[in-house]
Amino acid sequence: MTVAEVIKKAMLAGVGAQEKAKEFIDELVKTGELSKGEGATLVKDWASKAEESTRDIDMKIKDSIAAAYEKLNIPTRDDFERLEKKLHTLSERISKFDGGKGKGGA
């Protein structure tokens, strides 16, 4: 199972849990154990916490992937972009030294 599959399953489980929680709260409202206002507030609070948790998990996954790239010495997109900028700058400088004969493009 790939990392993407694990993430997808976890997110689907979260969506399923969110639906179950909403159904449970709706049932409490129907039976009169919660008012509609209390139920709405509870759903809103729960959704907010779930969203925050999703952001936290997303950040942890990104950090773990970045750490794995670093540990394996795999260049990142930022590394390539920095190198591209340096190459472009060097090409321009070489072009100036050549008297503009070459265009110095990458």
Structural domain harbouring 106: 77-106
Q: d(Cα 82, Cα 70) in Å, to the nearest integer?
A: 16
The answer to whether residues 65 and 88 belong to one domain is no
How many Cβ atoms sit within 10 Å of the Cβ of residue 25?
19
Instruction: Say if residue 54 is in the same domain as residue 31.
Output: yes
Q: How far apart are CA 54 and CA 57, in angstroms?
A: 5
The chain-wide mean pLDDT, for the chain, equals 81
Report the pLDDT value the prediction gives residue 40, as an integer from 0 to 100: 82
Residues 19-57 have pLDDT tens digits of 777 788 888 888 888 888 888 888 888 878 878 888 888
Do 33 and 8 belong to one domain?
yes
Domain total in the chain: 2
- Same domain for 47 and 97? no
36 and 62 housed in the same domain = yes
- The rounded distance, in Å, linking the Cα atoms of 103 and 14 is 54
Q: Are 28 and 70 contained in the same domain?
A: yes
Q: Do 10 and 32 share a domain, yes or no?
A: yes
pLDDT at 91: 94
